[in-house]
Amino acid sequence: MERFSVCTGLYKRYNDLARMEISKTKIGVVVSSLHEACQSLMWKGIFRVAKAKDVEIITFVATSQDRVDSLDLHIQIVKDFVQRSNIDGLIMFTGTIAEFLDAQRLEDFYKSFLHLPVVSVSYDIPNVPSIMPDNTTGVIDMVDHFVNYHNYKRIVFVKGPAGHTEAEERFEAYKQGLIKNGIAYDPRLVCEGTFTAKSGVSAVRYLFASAIHFDAVICVNDEAALGVISELKKRHKHIPIDVAVAGFDDITDAAFVLPSLTTVRQPLFQMGTSALETVLLQIERKYPQMLRIMPAHPVYRRSCGCFPSTIRKSTPPSEPYSLPVSEETVMERMLQKVGNILGEALDADDRKNPLVENIQKIFETFDENIKKLDERHSFLNSLDTYLFKVEGRSGNVDSLQILLLELSSYLSTFNMDMNRLANGNNLLQQAQVLLREYKLRAAQTRNMEEAAFGLKIRETSQKIITTFDPNRLKFTILEDFPEINIHLFVFALYETPFRITKEKWKFPEHSKLIVGFNKQTGAKGDESDKLVFPTKDLIPDKLQSDEPGAYIFMPLFFKNEQFGFVVFDYIDEQPFFMYEELRLHIGSSLKSSMMMHDLKIQSMVDELTGLYNRRGFVELSKKMIDSARRAGGKLLVFYADLDGLKRINDVYGHDEGDAAISGAASVLTDTFRNKDIIARIGGDEFTVILHVGDTLEPESKILLRLREKLDDFNSFSGRPFTLSMSVGSGYFEPSGTKSLDDILKEADNRMLAKKRKRYNM
């Protein structure tokens, strides 16, 4: 059957769809790792089209929590969730999933979804519409470039996983490129590898250990190429003078690594957009092209010996103006070239377009400032205004560079005195300085914003991982997640947790909501609502949005224990690493909470007060000390004693004495935070330990709140006694020489000193 024909299986799927009434189109996306460079760019393409077409997407992340490069624990779970989810179509990133499954398991995996409209990305599945990059032409062109432009002859190739379709195609293209250029294939120049930076490092080590001469390396992908560059630098080899390097994909890091990486640009974003459009065609009962090969083109940068395009573009245009030239001609050419870069049609007659008006102003002020030798601010101000108007647009800096080049060419067409010509050139130099400063400041601002946001994520993660109580974890989620642009979140546990083995996994029909919120609707929920919902729904009805969204589903694991799952919504431009990091810490915190529960069963809790006892205090303080060592900072310790307990027992009886102890415990609980450790370590003695952060309340404010809580108790308790406490405090440095016991003794002594002073002892 022709590869562009329609398979019989599609007819059945389309007939099934004809009977469906679709109110909101939902598309599932299965990825192996959302924050991996290639997958994230393809996913962005899916997201942009989905957003434009009001399509909901649910992304199922099929990696294990403790090993991002493994599918061992997740593959069956994710498959079951996809099969049971109420989705109308599915996009599989099959090429990346194929890295971790043998052929039979991969076939079993994708065949389980063929009852749905399915699209495969980066892997050609028979009788399934597939989106593939051209893995051949770009590599052959790269070999041509290495041989004919740079005269490299000993070209190494770092392979991908054996049997992987894309990897094998790129390797075959390398061999075809050698044949085309009359170079004999040398198997010693071929290094086994994967799609990881580690395989690039291993390849370089092998080549040097084997004393194999080589002058260039082409890698199966950019990650491997970055590994090659890293290892070559460690060996003090200059790239490209000593060894040239090229990759495949053109991930974001390729343009920013030093030296910038020559690569084959895979149309990752466009592959994502095409994948979503293809699955929507199937849902609409239209018959898409069964195999779409998308072009991939070389991008030549410094690592192969070429200079980046930003340097090449800094020379005057290859087609200079003819003499003489009119203002209309200059404006027409400027508007056309800027419009091409910005993706916007600019017409000189459209005076209502502020961008057209601004470019006209640039030209006019340049012309004026040439004649006014002492005046240049109006021209530079017009350039600054232009940068403001195009800020945030793709190609904004390149478009201004084009404008300056056109003005340079325009200047060369005039016969004028040397002073004015020098002034014109000086203006253009000033403009280049302005442009360089803008690029620098823009990069610094972006880095500052990313660093500030990254700090928020780390602070939230730190709170989660140092939380040992489910209530504290829920509080952190509800308070902090909206601050890092998470607008919808679901954290659910299965009714029965599983310790995973291949034989034991069974899809849980129901799950319990532990905590969740929808910022858009204001809905919140936790286990106190006793909300149990069908697991296949992923998001309980209470938290659903009417508008289509983009959701990320991740199973919750700790090693081989399966607890439940989390669902995040995605807001444009969010960093993908955030979701994996938060999932990891939630799983760890959950496990810690379970362990804490076990410890409580082992008599870690004081029976009378519900606070931790001495044993619980010792165990938990060790964890807090370890956390403080990792995060930095110190611990604040309070030592408190209940005043007059003996008198209360003697005058009012031991029941009232117990009530006084319980009352003191409730006052301390109300005074301190959920995440602080509060313990009763003796008959009438209590201690509190808390981590000191940058935003910790002053010690005096905490003590003032304690006095207020004591006053509240005495006002409303109805007890015959007056509750009073003496308190001492001290700071514990985890890296210091004093032990926690030493600090507790110091706090105890300060407490006793206050008590003596109060009673004039």
Q: pTM score, two decimals?
A: 0.65
pLDDT confidence tier of residue 13, bands split at 50, 70 and 90: very low
Question: What's the CA gap between 38 and 220, in Å, rounded?
Answer: 13
Which residues are registered as beta bridge partners of 553?
Answer: 60, 567
471 and 381 part of one domain: no
Is 454 contained in some domain?
Answer: no
pLDDT confidence tier of residue 605, bands split at 50, 70 and 90: confident
Separation in Å, CA 116 to CA 23, 131, 264, 325, 594 = 17, 17, 33, 62, 39
Predicted confidence (pLDDT) at residue 22 exceeds the cutoff of 50: no
632 and 697 part of one domain: yes
Q: Which residue has the higher pLDDT, 32 or 518?
A: 518
583 and 671 part of one domain: no
Integer Rg of the chain from CA: 33
Provide the mean pLDDT of the chain. Answer: 85
CATH of the domain at 172: 3.40.50.2300
For the stretch 32-50, pLDDT in tens is 888 888 888 899 999 999 9
What is the DSSP track for 444-512?
Answer: HHHHHHHHHHHHHHHHHHHHHHT--SHHHHHHHHHHHGGGGT--EEEEEEEEEEEE--TTT----SEEE
300 and 193 part of one domain: yes
Predicted confidence (pLDDT) at residue 58 exceeds the cutoff of 90: yes
Mean pLDDT of 194-215: 95
Predicted confidence (pLDDT) at residue 156 exceeds the cutoff of 90: yes
Q: Which domain holds residue 28?
A: 8-129+271-280+284-290
Buried residues in 638-656 as b, exposed as e (16+ CB within 10 A): bbbbbbbbeebbeeeeeeb
Domain count, the chain: 5
Q: Which residue has the higher pLDDT, 654 or 402?
A: 654
Is 145 contained in some domain?
Answer: yes
Residue 241 pLDDT: 94
Q: Which residue has the higher pLDDT, 544 or 14?
A: 544
Give the residue from 564, 597, 630 where a domain finishes. 597
Residue 2 pLDDT: 34
pLDDT confidence tier of residue 72, bands split at 50, 70 and 90: low
81 and 114 part of one domain: yes
For the stretch 610-634, pLDDT in tens is 899 988 898 888 888 888 887 777 8
Residue 66 pLDDT: 47
Report residue 444: phi and psi, to 5°. Answer: -65, -40
Is 2 contained in some domain?
Answer: no
Residue 484 pLDDT: 92
Mean pLDDT of 521-526: 89
Structure tokens at 400: 């201004």
Is 155 contained in some domain?
Answer: yes
Is 456 contained in some domain?
Answer: no
580 and 438 part of one domain: no
263 and 165 part of one domain: yes
Residue 421 pLDDT: 79
238 and 301 part of one domain: yes
561 and 487 part of one domain: yes
For the stretch 570-587, pLDDT in tens is 988 888 889 988 988 888
574 and 612 part of one domain: no
Question: CB–CB of 98/106 below 8 Å?
Answer: yes
Is 86 contained in some domain?
Answer: yes
pLDDT confidence tier of residue 320, bands split at 50, 70 and 90: low
Is 642 contained in some domain?
Answer: yes
Residue 658 pLDDT: 95
Residue 9 pLDDT: 44
Question: CB–CB of 294/134 below 8 Å?
Answer: yes
619 and 740 part of one domain: yes
Predicted confidence (pLDDT) at residue 5 exceeds the cutoff of 60: no
CATH of the domain at 628: 3.30.70.270
Mean pLDDT of 334-346: 82
Residue 693 pLDDT: 65
Give the residue from 580, 597, 614 where a domain finishes. 597
Mean pLDDT of 590-595: 74
For the stretch 672-726, pLDDT in tens is 988 899 999 989 999 999 887 655 678 889 999 999 999 999 999 999 999 999 9
Question: What's the CA gap between 388 and 398, in Å, rounded?
Answer: 14
590 and 710 part of one domain: no
Q: Which residue has the higher pLDDT, 446 or 19?
A: 446
Residue 91 pLDDT: 96
pLDDT confidence tier of residue 12, bands split at 50, 70 and 90: very low
Is 624 contained in some domain?
Answer: yes
Estimate to the nearest angstrom the gap between the alpha carbon of 14 and the chain centroid.
36
The answer to which of 141-155, 239-253, 498-512 has the lowest mean pLDDT is: 498-512
Instruction: Write down the residue that tokens 């509240």 correspond to.
Output: 712
Residue 38 pLDDT: 87
